[in-house]
Amino acid sequence: MKNISLLLVTIKVSAIIILLHFTGISYSQITDSTRQLTHFAGSAGITNNGISVVPTFSFGKPAAIFLMSVEKSRLSFEPDIRFTLDLKRGGIALWWRYKILMNGKFRLNAGAHPAINFIKADSVKENTKGVILTQHFLGGEVVPYYVLSKKINIGAYYLYAHGLQENGPKNVHFVTVNSNFSNLKLTKQLALMWVPQFYYLNIDKEDGFYFTSTLPPASSTNSAPGA
């Protein structure tokens, strides 16, 4: 119970940080009525494997995912909150993203974030079995991609994360080469999106090459996303 209480307190603190971000944005809108938010979105859902930006780091069990986005022109603030349903694993990343090149065929985005991961320790030797540990990271990303058509784009993704804790990963490099095929029509109302990617993962000089592919359903009216 003590560990769960500590986790809930940490979640509340993170929620306060997110609210402060939104308060700052809202205040800036009140003081200057000529500046309007161009985009606000949020979503919540449950996945069967707790998928992560880095496929290798997926939780492997059902997880809740909460995503939000507040965007003004080229800059956006995008909190990303993910927890397993038993609250034993999860993470919070507070992304700030900027669209460097947003017109034409070639586009370029960049972002940075602080993040906290929650992990249940299972080491009986160190007498930490059942204890929920936290890992803190600072990370950044670069996302170049090329739009071939409304249905197809190809690109790359680079993520670097630096661990701030003594125990745990210190330097994580994640590189992907990917493509996005959207609006693959099955019927007039139903379509598929195919997103294959090859990726390279290096964690403190331990590395490997991998392949993953997703095939989610989508509305047949959707076009290729810009990322």
pLDDT at 127: 54
Which amino acid, 18? I
pLDDT of 37 reads 59
> What is the model's pLDDT at position 140?
97
Tell me: pLDDT of 92 over 90. yes
Nearby residues of 191 by Cβ (< 8 Å), 6 or more positions away = 182, 183, 184, 185, 217, 218, 219, 220, 222
Over residues 18-47, mean pLDDT: 59
pLDDT of residue 122: 63
Most trustworthy range by pLDDT among 23-27, 28-32, 38-42, 161-165 = 161-165
* pLDDT tens digits, one per residue of 11-26: 444 544 444 444 444 4
Higher pLDDT, residue 27 or 15: 15
Q: What is the residue-averaged pLDDT of the chain?
A: 79
The domain limits of the chain are: 2-31+40-219
- Is the pLDDT at 80 greater than 60? The verdict is yes
89-123 per-residue burial string, b: 16 or more CB within 10 A, e: under 16: bbbbbbbebebeeeeeeebebebebebbbbebeee
Contact 171, 204 (CB under 8 A): yes
pLDDT for res 107: 96
Of 72, 168, 150, 137, give the one whose Cα is nearest residue 105. Answer: 150
Instruction: State the pLDDT confidence band at 158, using cuts at 50, 70 and 90.
Output: very high
Contact by Cβ (8 Å): 115, 81:
no
pLDDT digits (tens, 9 = 90+) for 195-225: 899 999 999 999 999 998 877 766 555 444 4
Whether CATH 2.40.160 fits 2-31+40-219: yes
What is the average pLDDT across 97-117? 95
Q: What is the pLDDT of residue 120?
A: 74
Higher pLDDT, 17 or 98: 98
Q: Give 183-197 pLDDT, tens digit per residue.
A: 888 787 788 888 899
